[in-house]
Amino acid sequence: MAGPGRPPRRPPPPHRLGGPAEGERVAIEVPRRAVLSRPLSVPLIATVVGALPLAVAAQPGTGLRDTTFWLQLVVACYAGVRLCAMVLSGRRRLVQGAFWLFGYLAMGIAPLAQSVLGRDPTPVLGPREDTQLATALVLCGMVAFDVGALLARQRPAGRERRRPATVHRGRLACLVVFAYAASGLLIVQLGGPAVFFSSRQEISASLAEATGAPGGPGAEGGGEAGSALLRGFGTVPAMLALLFLTRWLVTSRAARHRPAVLLPWAGLLVINAIVNNPISNPRYWFLTVMFALLFTVFPRSSVMYRAALALGLAVALLVFPFTDRFRYDDEGRRPLETDSVLEPLVVKDYDQLNMFANTITFAGDGHGHSYGEQLAGAALFFVPRGVWGDKPEDTGFLVGGWMGTDSANLSSPLWAELWLDFGPLGMTLAFVGIGYLSARTDRRYVRRTLDDPSPGNVLAVVVPVLAGYSFILLRGSLLQASGRIGIAVLCLALVTTFRHHPRAELR
């Protein structure tokens, strides 16, 4: 019974056939759709798909308006359509969004700008037909990725048959201790925190001096492997430990009142600011750290997901090329000349299509396809060359050596890696599989973050890391990217459990 002055409660309408009675109000539940409003979505599509590619194509330059140029324009527009679909989607598709962001920038807009200006950031030794074939294969890979994602949608989402992976509290403490020790060793070996805020050139020199690595880039030997291990173990465990503790604090009010969680988290924040800052690390690795941290802090925010893709596009076009100043010291630093508005896109960071064309020329020069050998070398990166005498070299360095350069900073995009190993048909089928797995991973991530908001949800941390690191995997080479993947797998195996431990769960 309602009290005096208080309106009577209206019970929920009973479920019955025939609809509501006359005059009765019924609350219709409308499913929420995380899409942009029309005033924002229309300018986004018009800019990304139409205005930006056409503006680049209309710029004056000495480049040829041939078949390759028009193919590059098609690639840019196609990737732009798919990127807009990711931004406007009602679901958070982290891995697919990262793929299309990279595809639009590195394989679409940047090669189009280079073609317009008639300038290549990396010399292309073969004929124009090889660049045309590389562009066509890039488009085939993108379409195959879409086909794989479409096939994943046809499979209904089944229920988890086994207990999902969770974080074991005791093992997480071990990871935190190990992260402190490994990062501390890296800082001490390099001479203190100050060197991490100088330049990447200074970091490389300090690593070579600490581990006895050969001075030449790409040189082999135990010192070179020691440098990679020291840097990998000094950066990856610290990042993952920070992400797991951040997930714990974001999802548990009790954890935010525990000094035993807050103090290690604060210390890891400082350590990551030292060892994973954008000055001493490759920009793609720093992008991985920030991408993973962003979606760990905001695991269920569709607004943050859309903002990350949209702002990532703007930052990559306007800011990313100018951060090259951190690569060298004051003597070796080269200022970026901007005679054209397209000049920031004609830099070595966007040499992926050029290196794909060089890979095609490299194979046609008598080297042929490797039939899985390069992929096996990347998967078995931990096998020393003393045991595996014919272990394949890094693909970018291999093609670069054929080109006559000893630079170790040449990319080898995933398209080139798969084409060199398996040919055009194998590359296409591989991208179908990659698209399928990416869509399934994104789908499971959305379901698990909605159904399981617990602090120990491993997938809620792994997928943002994978999405961020996919920029490195797509840029290549795979052998260079494999080391940190191996270390991350070891760290995840340490903290993950599939058993129910009430006392060991994060609360």
- One-character DSSP codes across 291-352: HHHHHHHSTT-HHHHHHHHHHHHHHHHHTGGGGGGGSS-TTT--PPP-SSTTGGGSSGGG-H
For residues 337 and 347, give the distance between their C-alpha atoms in angstroms, rounded to a whole number. 10
pLDDT of residue 215: 45
pLDDT of residue 80: 93
**156: burial class by Cβ within 10 Å (0-12, 13-18, 19+)?**
exposed
User: Is the pTM higher than 0.75?
Assistant: yes
Q: Closest Cα to residue 264, out of 190, 188, 176?
A: 176
What is the average pLDDT across 81-107? 89
Q: For residue 471, how many C-alpha atoms fall within 13 Å in the half-sphere facing its CB?
A: 28
Question: Do residues 340 and 59 touch, judged by C-beta distance below 8 A?
Answer: yes
- Residue 457: strand pairing partners: 166
61, 66, 71, 73: CA torsion to nearest 10 = 30
Give 4 or 271, the one with higher predicted confidence: 271
Pair type for strands 496-497 and 166-167: antiparallel
Give 129 or 229, the one with higher predicted confidence: 129
The pair of three-digit structure tokens given for residue 344, joined into one six-digit string: 């920031």
Q: Specify the range with the lowest mean pLDDT, choosing from 337-341, 400-404, 446-450, 453-457.
A: 337-341
Q: How confident is the model at residue 418 (pLDDT cuts 50, 70, 90)?
A: very high
For residues 66 and 270, give the distance between their C-alpha atoms in angstroms, rounded to a whole number. 52
Whether 206 shows a pLDDT value over 70: the answer reads: yes
For residues 160 and 453, give the distance between their C-alpha atoms in angstroms, rounded to a whole number. 16
Question: Do residues 237 and 319 touch, judged by C-beta distance below 8 A?
Answer: no
pLDDT of residue 164: 79
Three-class SS state of 497: strand
Give 22 or 294, the one with higher predicted confidence: 294
Q: According to the per-residue pLDDT averaged within each range, which of 30-34, 222-226, 305-309, 442-446 is highest?
A: 442-446
Question: Do residues 498 and 171 touch, judged by C-beta distance below 8 A?
Answer: no
Contacts made by residues 425-428, CB under 8 angstroms, sequence distance 24+? 427/137, 427/140, 427/141, 428/140, 428/141, 428/144
The 3-state secondary structure of 53-101 reads HHHHHCCCCCCCCCHHHHHHHHHHHHHHHHHHHHHHCCCCCHHHHHHHH
Q: Would residue 213 be called left, alpha or beta, if left means φ above 0 and alpha means ψ between -120 and 50 degrees? A: beta
pLDDT of residue 494: 94
Q: Where are the domains of the chain?
A: 36-507
- Which distant-in-sequence residues (6+ apart) come within 8 Å of 448 by Cβ? 164, 457, 459, 460
For residues 131 and 358, give the distance between their C-alpha atoms in angstroms, rounded to a whole number. 8
Question: Do residues 371 and 85 touch, judged by C-beta distance below 8 A?
Answer: no
Q: How confident is the model at residue 30 (pLDDT cuts 50, 70, 90)?
A: very low
| Residue 256 CA: distances (Å) to CA of 226, 247, 401, 449 | 38, 11, 53, 20
pLDDT of residue 16: 40
What is the average pLDDT across 248-253? 91
**pLDDT digits over 276-296, tens only?**
988 888 888 888 898 899 889
Whether 505 shows a pLDDT value over 70: the answer reads: yes
Whether 160 shows a pLDDT value over 70: the answer reads: no
Whether 45 shows a pLDDT value over 60: the answer reads: yes
| Residue 220 CA: distances (Å) to CA of 387, 391, 403 | 14, 12, 19
pLDDT of residue 358: 95
300, 286, 276, 228: CA torsion to nearest 10 = 120
Compute the mean pLDDT over every residue in the chain, rounded to the nearest whole number.
82
DSSP state of 281: S
**φ, ψ (nearest 5 deg) of residue 463:** -65, -45
Q: Please state the separation of Cα 308 from the chain's center in Å.
A: 12
Whether 414 shows a pLDDT value over 90: the answer reads: yes
